[in-house]
Amino acid sequence: MAPSTSSALTLKVNGEKHTLSVDHRTTLLDALRERLDLTGTKKGCDQGQCGACTVLIDGRRAVSCLQLAVAAEGREITTIEGVADGDRLHPVQQAFLDLDGFQCGYCTPGQICSALGVIEEHAAGWPSAATTDIRPEAGVPELTAEEIRERMSGNLCRCGAYVSIVQAVARAARAEEETV
Amino acid sequence: MTTTTGPAAVTGAVGSAHTRVEGVAKVTGAARYAAEVPFANLAHGWLVLSTVARGRIRSVEAEPVRRMPGVLDVLYYGNAPRVDAAYEGMMGRPDPTVAVFQTDEIPCAGWPVALIVAETSEQAREAAESLVVHYDKEPHDVDFFPGRPGSYTPDGDGMRVEKGDVEAELAASTHVVDAEYSTPEEHHNAMEPHAATARWDGGRLEVIDSNQGSTWIADELAKLFSLDPASVRVRSEHVGGAFGAKGLRVHQVLAVMAATVLDRPVRVVMTRRQVFSLVGYRSPTAQRVRLGAEPDGRLRAVDHEGLNLTSTVHEFVESSASFGRPMYAADAHRSVNRVVRLNVPTPTYMRAPGEAPGSFALESALDELAEKCGMDPIALRVRNEPEVGPVSGLPFGSRNLTACFEEGARRFGWAERDPRPGVRRDGRWLLGTGVASATFPVIVAPSTASATAEPDGTFTVRITASDIGTGARTALTLVAADALEVEPGRIRVHIADSDFGPATIAGGSMGTRSWGWAVRDAAIELREQLALGGDIPAQGLTVRSDTGAAIGALAQKERHSYGAQFAEAAVDVGTGEVRVRRMLGIYAAGRIINPLTARSQLVGGMTWGLSMALHEEAVRDQITGAHVGADLAGYHFAANADVPHIEADWVDDPDPDDPIGIKGIGEIGIVGAAAAIANAVWHATGVRHRHLPIRPDRVIQAGSPRA
């Protein structure tokens, strides 16, 4: 008997469980876009170089094009469609909208998911290549423009919206701090 | 409809900042791009490209692939439907590349040789990777260099322009600059790869696409497939970037072919690697600039020659030498664009085609001349301001270049600049500042629009415009609001559907100007009809406009946007690293409709200029004739960490011949930006960099500052 080339699995996306049968070659990105009709997650390069397909997996940002769908079973996946609270935009989304942190909008879902990760990682004290003092006792580094640029560099934007993206992430991070 | 003059009806929408009308859809992921519109019974197409750079296809081994799971068909030159590319489209004769699978000849690497159509994308991809194609290889030639044998000056407007005696003026000049510059092959790389879905529905061909003009694409597809134009409908609601690359390309043609053969909807999406050889790119350029000047900087001669490449199947000219023609007064002007045909894909329009590489060369040369004359580079440019078009003799529409420099100099702190190169240090960094001029032609093309008053008090505007990220949809909403004298919130603007009637493309920075004119005309006439009173019928009251006659009546002038580019660079001559610390661009680019999105456009263009100056370079392997590293790791364009704070602003400069005052802002931001950075690198180090990108190895080889 030929080996099976597909499997049934359950993906938990934005808090909702979806049971489906997928080709083993299917990436998480294609499962989201072509099987679950969650097309907010974008395909820019399909090889982990542009960040357009960034989602959160168990709260950590990941490029969904380099993840097979079958390997994502049992994980908590958050896509751009799960970021807002109903009709109320998340502060990161609101800041991107208000400060025009995008132009064509194609990299935007990945940028926003990545920004959510950046704000969490920074709050947890993770250093970046732009952090000048990485000693544990130095505490949480200030989230400067330099830090944001470095931490957001996995997400390419060809329209050249970086200047506004940095401002949007800074504004959203401040909003988060104020609500804590 | 002829109401094109008269005072603008202003409710204050135009000129005030508005977030994008489709912005919420874009930040929530709800906006659907071309590959994301669902279709029942959809089949997936996957392209197979040639691995040789010249030759003939001996055989396509389709049969084994047809037996693979899910495969529905294999299209190639042996079985593809016939098409006819001998037509004139909106942009002239098409690149015959669009007549895909019509011949067994291979003129370049990455040439489409087959399309696999399968039930799923995974099946199509595996079959595409399994397909065996045999070639009869022939020798190829992809070698591009200055003075390349076989180059020629094309026929056609503007390829060669001469005024006065350049050689005599150069001989009589006190100061002469004679330098060669080069720019590499550059690729658009819109974040959304090209994608199209085609289906036949009740005798009509429907295409969901990502393009810069649905009228344009519908017209080309009708001509290519010999269809009644009324039977073709193309839509392109959201476009994930374009920059000149999203015209008619093989993906739309193949989707139509496959949908026709299989009688079901077919989607064709290019991979990132395929985009590098299928959608065009900016040709590399090799330029020579000679300037001659009096001791006071007054120009006697401007001589600019630019060489670029094209394919063996189509002539596309990157007119870099044309940049200076409307810019500087001189006794003699000569500019010549030359081209050489090689075994490469055909290049195409890419953001500021001609102006982007041309401005790098000429605006760098002016900086060199300023150094020789011992003049401030801004003063040199102001000294050579022309009264009329330097070559054409035509009057200017409006020309506010000097105002841009004055405002920019004030804000950048130019007056405190020490002109000496190589004397400022900040730790391991040498610091310098530079300037350059920008210009881009003001273009307008006929368009039609409709405006409908709905019974519920709202308005609907329809126009086959394309919002490729420019903010056109929002700008047109604001234009309609002022013309109708209602709040923007009561207006819905629908775009990018060829059924709305003919309109021009998003290209040449002419989209918003051309569409805005048509939208304003329709809206004003609708308002006038509504003012007569009476009930609005259930289907609404609709008015149509056509700007063809008004645009045809425009007098000939030198119409351009202008800008002053400022940059500060930090250079580490030990590691070769160049960091841009800040950029400022001040523009005179017509009336600004939406300051929020306009600033994004201009800053985006400047970001392209930074990327061009320091990063972008596609490298072709002479042995294979194909690219090295054709992906976003091998082809680096500016990432977030490469880009400092960039400021863009403008001076008041409404176009006197446009009913709204628009000029166009899509391209001018990149023009001159690379030169400003290169001039700043010289100011930092004392070394001229005449070849882009200014890579670390070039900086290291250039050595330490002379100071």
pLDDT in tens, A34-65: 999 999 999 999 999 999 999 999 999 999 99
B30 touching A, CB under 8 A?
yes
Structural domain boundaries in chain A: 6-82, 91-179
Task: Show the domain range for B469.
Answer: 23-31+445-552
Low-confidence ranges of chain B (pLDDT < 70): 1-10, 704-707
Q: A170: part of which helix (H) or strand (E)? A: helix A162-179
> Contact A160/B471, CB-based, under 8 Å?
no
A46 touching B, CB under 8 A?
yes
User: Considering CB atoms only, which of B23, B120, B640 is closest to A162?
Assistant: B640
CA atoms of B27 and A92, how far apart (whole Å): 9
Q: Looking at beta carbons, which residues of chain B come within 8 Å of A84?
A: 28
Residue B502: give its domain's CATH number: 3.30.365.10
User: CA of A124 to nearest chain B CA: how many angstroms apart?
Assistant: 22
CA atoms of B610 and B614, how far apart (whole Å): 6
Q: What is the predicted pLDDT for the residue at B703?
A: 77
Q: Looking at beta carbons, which residues of chain B come within 8 Å of A105?
A: 22, 26-27, 31, 238, 240, 469
Q: How many A/B residue pairs have CB atoms within 8 Å?
A: 174
Q: What is the predicted pLDDT for the residue at B707?
A: 42
Whether B375 is covered by a domain: the verdict is: no
Whether B453 is covered by a domain: the verdict is: yes
What dotted CATH number matches A6-82? Answer: 3.10.20.30
Q: What is the 3-state secondary structure (H, E, C) of B355-416?
A: HHHHHHHHHHHHHHHHHHHCCCHHHHHHHCCCCCCCCCCCCECCCCHHHHHHHHHHHHCHHH
> Is it true that the peptide bond before B693 is cis, omega within 30 degrees of 0?
yes
Q: What is the predicted pLDDT for the residue at B3?
A: 37
In residues, how long is chain A? 180
Q: What is the predicted pLDDT for the residue at B233?
A: 98
pLDDT band at residue A180 using 50, 70 and 90 as cut-offs: low
Per-residue tokens: A100: 């025009």
Q: Looking at beta carbons, which residues of chain B come within 8 Å of A91?
A: none
Contact (Cβ atoms closer than 8 angstroms) between residue B309 and residue B339: yes
Contact (Cβ atoms closer than 8 angstroms) between residue A50 and residue A108: no
* Torsion angles phi and psi, residue B139, rounded to 5: -65, 140
Q: What is the predicted pLDDT for the residue at B2?
A: 35
Whether B379 is covered by a domain: the verdict is: no
3-state secondary structure of B614: helix
B129 touching A, CB under 8 A?
no
CA atoms of B558 and B325, how far apart (whole Å): 10
Candidates B37, B39, B188, B191, partner chain A, best to mutate (most A CBs within 10 A): B191
Whether B490 is covered by a domain: the verdict is: yes
A91-179, superfamily in CATH? [2Fe-2S]-binding domain (1.10.150.120)
Q: Quick check: is B355 catalytic?
A: no
Q: Is the ipTM of this complex over 0.85?
A: yes
User: Considering CB atoms only, which of B35, B241, B607 is closest to A104?
Assistant: B241
Q: What is the predicted pLDDT for the residue at B618?
A: 98
Which of B313, B264, B268 lies closest to B114 in space, CA to CA? B268
**Chain A stretch 53-72, residues whose beta carbon is closer than 8 A to a beta carbon of chain B:** none
Q: Which residues neighbour B255 within 8 Å (Cβ) at sequence distance 6 or greater? A: B45, B196, B197, B198, B207, B266, B267, B268
Which residue of chain A has the CA closest to B611? Answer: A160
CA atoms of B414 and B408, how far apart (whole Å): 8
B121 touching A, CB under 8 A?
yes
Sign of CA dihedral B524, B526, B532, B533: negative
Residue B489: how many other CB atoms lie within 10 Å = 10
How many domains does chain B divide into?
A: 1
> Contact B606/A160, CB-based, under 8 Å?
yes
Whether B104 is covered by a domain: the verdict is: no
Whether B519 is covered by a domain: the verdict is: yes
A6 touching B, CB under 8 A?
no
Whether B437 is covered by a domain: the verdict is: no
> Contact A80/B31, CB-based, under 8 Å?
no
User: CA of B304 to nearest chain A CA: how many angstroms apart?
Assistant: 30
Taking residues A143-152, report their average pLDDT. Answer: 98
pLDDT band at residue A3 using 50, 70 and 90 as cut-offs: confident
Q: Locate the DSSP E strands across B442-555.
A: 448-453, 459-463, 491-495, 541-546
Which of B107, B110, B102, B135 lies closest to B50 in space, CA to CA? B110
pLDDT band at residue A1 using 50, 70 and 90 as cut-offs: low
B239 touching A, CB under 8 A?
yes
Q: Looking at beta carbons, which residues of chain A come within 8 Å of B189?
A: 158
Whether B694 is covered by a domain: the verdict is: no
Q: B426: part of which helix (H) or strand (E)? A: strand B425-426
Q: What is the predicted pLDDT for the residue at B534?
A: 87
